[in-house]
Structure 1
Amino acid sequence: MTPRPFKQVDVFTATPYWGNPLAVVLDGSGLDDDAMQRFARWTNLSETCFLLPPSHALADYRVRIFTPGGELPFAGHPTLGSCHSWLQAGGQPHAPDVIVQECQVGLVKIRREPGTERLAFAAPPLTRAVPDAAWLAEVLVALGLQPAQVRAAQRLDNGPVWLGLLLDSPETVLQLAPDHPALARLKAKVGVAAVYPPEESPPLIARANREARAFDAGVKECLDAAPDLEVRAFAAPIGVNEDPVTGSLNASLAQWLIADGHLPERYQASQGVCLGRAGQVYLARDASGQVWVGGQSVTCIDGQVTL
């Protein structure tokens, strides 16, 4: 076993311990699949990443992404957190204005957002379809939802596959208490979201949750920003009942909801309230139609791990 550089970073937050944690092994060379999976189970985080030399000439680095239950072809908060870690460790991209990550889904572009501390990744291409009606009905029962509370539903695939549900209100999103074993049996990874009416501030339940956890002025200032969308992600089939803040899901939701006119071309999503987090995700569609998913990352642990 070899000491390897290691970081644990918090993603989609500027303040430590309010976002989604990520374990990053900065040198995964020589580790086989079993060793990577065993370490991912041990960290027990939603994702653990291993950085490797790129195999594609255009890539700056390669990443393999593991959940406690298996490997993912792509994921959003690991993309931003891995890039943050690689840059902080001295990584130098081929091009000054873009970093290119290689992962199983292919090459993913990451850019520094001008005038901010944020990184943003280019959402991979999305395939979407209407979900099977009988399966959807079972999923709604597992979520405790009535059909009338669902405004729209789509099967979303940008590497990871999600069932996307647009619900009637943020209150409905925040009050869900799913049957996670049932979702696991149905093999349903579900992303639920609801749009805040533009003329309204967040509802009392959301504001109370945020303010109760605002222990310092920096966090309070961060939490006071009214989001445009409230999001939750349930992923029992991969061993994560609820993910705090989910880049791949927010990417596919943005591609869907912007295209269908539910949201403007630039908006802010909130995720993690029900887990005591304050995740903020910044979504934008550029003139070419490319959706960018942005957020800040902060390093919480910096050292070595023996693997």
Structure 2
Amino acid sequence: MRALPFHQVDVFSATPFKGNPLAVIAGADDFDDAKMQAIANWTNLSETTFLSRPQDAAADYRVRIFTPTRELPFAGHPTLGSCHVWLALGGQPKGREVIQECGAGLVRIKRDGARLAFAAPPLRRSGEVSAEMKAQLARALGIAEQDIRAAQWVDNGPGWVAVLLGSRSELLSLKHDVSVLPDQSLGVVAPWDPARDGGEVQFEVRAFMGRGGEDPVTGSLNASLAQWLIGAGRAPVRYVAAQGTVLGRAGRVHVAQDGETIWIGGDVATCIAGTITL
């Protein structure tokens, strides 16, 4: 038996317990898939990550990302949380940016003061949804089709399809029926009205996961939404998105386009730091 570094962090919030939790285990070089999956099932968080030495010489570290039931090639809050832990454990990047190796390839991460931001990965699927899919999305969200301002595929790994609504109040009142699209991860976004909602945030986001459940704050979804909204001229090149409101969270995702790169940033707070015995 041996003890390895174990951290539980809260991502996309400077205030502990208001963001999205993540478990991170370092020194997992000799873990097989079955062991990582078993641990992720045990932590029962939306994701658990495992840090090891990189296989690609260009990377600073490698991360494997597991939900309680499967491995993901990429996810946003595990990217920022894993980088936060790697740095806290003394990791030193080879260059100005941290380069993370994951199932989706190499991901660039930069430090902006205390905040971390990752470069949005390319979309694997984009474009408008079919008329049949739009009708299914409306049924899944319990709304009329005419309430959908736009709907797009915005898949950067987890399979996201996105819906744009007209107001924050519409979004917060949604009741998701997972039985309509049981295996489809679905993101919904709506603008804040400065007069009614305030001016510190520009968009509200909700993420309904395939096979049920709502995610508190979702980096991969916000990355793909930003690529769509900014690219279509529906959002400015810098904005803040709120997520997790209906779950009692206060997630804040900081989006900024710099040249051809869209950066997805957020604060990370360490809640637990210790060891796990294996």
The TM-score with structure 1 as length reference comes to: 0.87
Per-residue deviation, 1:159: 2.1
Alignment of 1:202-217 (within 5 A): 202=197
- Indicate conservation of the 8 Å contact 2:18/2:248, yes or no: yes
- Indicate conservation of the 8 Å contact 1:163/1:189, yes or no: yes
- Aligned partner of 1:306 in structure 2 is 277
CA distance in 1, matches of 2:210, 2:30: 30
- Secondary structure (helix, strand or coil) at the match of 1:138 reads helix
- Aligned partner of 2:12 in structure 1 is 12
Per-residue deviation, 1:177: 1.3
Per-residue deviation, 1:160: 2.1
CA distance in 2, matches of 1:173, 1:183: 18
- Aligned partner of 1:107 in structure 2 is 106
CA distance in 1, matches of 2:69, 2:209: 11
Runs of 4+ displaced beyond 4 Å: none
> Residue type matched to 2:46 in 1?
S
Higher fraction of helix = 1
Asked if 1:189 corresponds to 2:185, the answer is yes
Identical counterparts, % of pairs? 54
- Secondary structure (helix, strand or coil) at the match of 2:189 reads strand
- Secondary structure (helix, strand or coil) at the match of 2:71 reads strand
- Aligned partner of 1:143 in structure 2 is 141
- Indicate conservation of the 8 Å contact 2:5/2:275, yes or no: yes
- Aligned partner of 1:221 in structure 2 is none
Gaps of 5+ in 1: 204-224
- Secondary structure (helix, strand or coil) at the match of 1:180 reads coil
- Indicate conservation of the 8 Å contact 2:138/2:148, yes or no: no
CA distance in 1, matches of 2:250, 2:233: 26
The two structures, once aligned, show a CA RMSD in angstroms of 1.4
Gaps of 5+ in 2: none
- Indicate conservation of the 8 Å contact 2:25/2:50, yes or no: yes
- Indicate conservation of the 8 Å contact 1:139/1:188, yes or no: no
Asked if 1:118 corresponds to 2:115, the answer is yes
Query: Matched residue pairs, number?
Result: 277
- Indicate conservation of the 8 Å contact 1:192/1:232, yes or no: yes
The TM-score with structure 2 as length reference comes to: 0.96
CA distance in 1, matches of 2:4, 2:147: 49
CA distance in 2, matches of 1:14, 1:201: 25
CA-to-aligned-CA distance 1:249-288 (integer Å, 9 cap, x gap): 00000000011011100000000000000000000111x2
CA-to-aligned-CA distance 1:77-113 (integer Å, 9 cap, x gap): 0000000000001101101x21000001110000011
Which segment drifts farther, 55-64 or 126-135?
A: 126-135
- Aligned partner of 2:267 in structure 1 is 296
> Residue type matched to 1:252 in 2?
S
- Aligned partner of 1:159 in structure 2 is 157
